[in-house]
Structure 1
Amino acid sequence: MSSASTSAAWPAALATPRLALRPVERADVPVITRLWTDPEVRRHLGGPVDSNVVRIRERRCVGAPGVFVVVRQSDEAVVGLVSVTAGARDGRTEVAYQLLPEHWGRGYAREAVGAAVSWAQDGVPPGSPGVVALTQEANLRSRRLLEGLGATLMDSFVEWDEAQVLYAFPSAPAR
């Protein structure tokens, strides 16, 4: 996990009908560590993260700009993580996301990523490169999610020895 940064105001708290996205707190770290080490979560993300890297990430993730923990509002359970990193891909802002497997298939990722993309678009100055997301070509669920949020396939390439696809979100409407 690099130190995410964004030009949108930080710290930020976002809300959807069922979720809250907020900066990472110390109490969230065990769940986030599970995201980094769970083989199913990491199947299309290069596999579980090395324990030495996990220890570094654990120290850096609390309050890190642009890194949101995703919390179900009904019971305050942490269901995942979304990050927004300005300038990550050719000057474009990149949105990345991970949810725990027991929360897949409920629309939480769609809500969380949609909220993060809207927030990220608010921080992208007019005329600047837009907001993108990257996933492995083989990750059909993630591709459907991105396409369902209106992102379009912009590029495909090999990175980390796997075929990747880059999606771009439409520009935010003028306010």
Structure 2
Amino acid sequence: MASAPGSTVWPAALATRRLALRPVAAADVGAIARLWTDPEVRRHLGGPVDSNVVRIREKRCVGAPGAFAVVRQADQAVVGLVTVEPGARDGRTEVSYQLLPEHWGQGYGREAVAAAVTWAREGSPSSAPGVVALTQQANLRSRRLLEGLGATVEDSFVEWDEPQVLYVFPSPPAE
């Protein structure tokens, strides 16, 4: 899936059957900012982000390491954002994702997260502690997506005043 197998050098470009994941470009900022302000997208993420924070994020997101714009190959529409953050949680790489609501239910999230997890693993030494994702317990869509990709619940706890579920992705088979 990655353009350079075995490498997580940034910038990176990933591809699935229908999507391209690439560094956020200036032209993507409008769609990405919608992810931070849309009440449905932010329903399980603490609500819409304050406009001052959005302005700061808009300046910092272009080319930010590990931040992939998720782009539909057929028409180059930005459908979401996936981030890969090495060492984010107990030394493990955390994968996060958001899709615009008009693109929900089409399998784009599953494709994008699967590509990002594969890419994250490629750059990790075999001794690395793994790849995880966090979602609110109430976010059933996200939980189904993660479980559909083979991730399993490792822990549950309260963070940001809401019950959270930490998922761990299985290690790839030994070659």
The alignment's TM-score, normalised by the length of structure 2, stands at 0.95
For 2:88, the equivalent position in structure 1 comes to 88
Note if 1:157 corresponds to 2:157: yes
State the 1:38 CA deviation.
0.2
For 1:4, the equivalent position in structure 2 comes to none
State the 1:148 CA deviation.
0.3
C-alpha offsets along residues 77-116 of structure 1, whole Å, 9 cap, x if unaligned? 0000000000000000000000000000000000000000
* SS, match of residue 57 in structure 2: helix
Greater displacement, 97-106 / 45-54: 45-54
C-alpha offsets along residues 39-79 of structure 1, whole Å, 9 cap, x if unaligned? 00000001001111111110110000100000000111000
Report sequence identity in percent.
80
For 1:18, the equivalent position in structure 2 comes to 18
For 1:100, the equivalent position in structure 2 comes to 100
1-side partners of 2:95 and 2:123: how far apart? 13
For 2:27, the equivalent position in structure 1 comes to 27
2:142 partner amino acid = S
* SS, match of residue 40 in structure 1: coil
* SS, match of residue 134 in structure 2: strand
The correspondence of residues 63-78 of structure 1 with structure 2, limited to 5 A, is 63-78=63-78
Contact 1:122 1:172 in 2 (8 A): no
1-side partners of 2:125 and 2:173: how far apart? 12
Q: Which runs of 5+ in 1 are unaligned?
A: 1-6
2:73 partner amino acid = Q
2:20 partner amino acid = A
2-side partners of 1:19 and 1:8: how far apart? 18
How large is the RMSD of aligned CA atoms in angstroms? 1.0
Note if 1:135 corresponds to 2:135: yes
1-side partners of 2:168 and 2:64: how far apart? 24
Q: Which runs of 5+ in 2 are unaligned?
A: 1-6
For 1:120, the equivalent position in structure 2 comes to 120
Contact 1:14 1:115 in 2 (8 A): yes
* SS, match of residue 138 in structure 1: coil
1-side partners of 2:52 and 2:174: how far apart? 44
1-side partners of 2:146 and 2:60: how far apart? 28
The alignment's TM-score, normalised by the length of structure 1, stands at 0.95
1:21 partner amino acid = L
For 2:4, the equivalent position in structure 1 comes to none
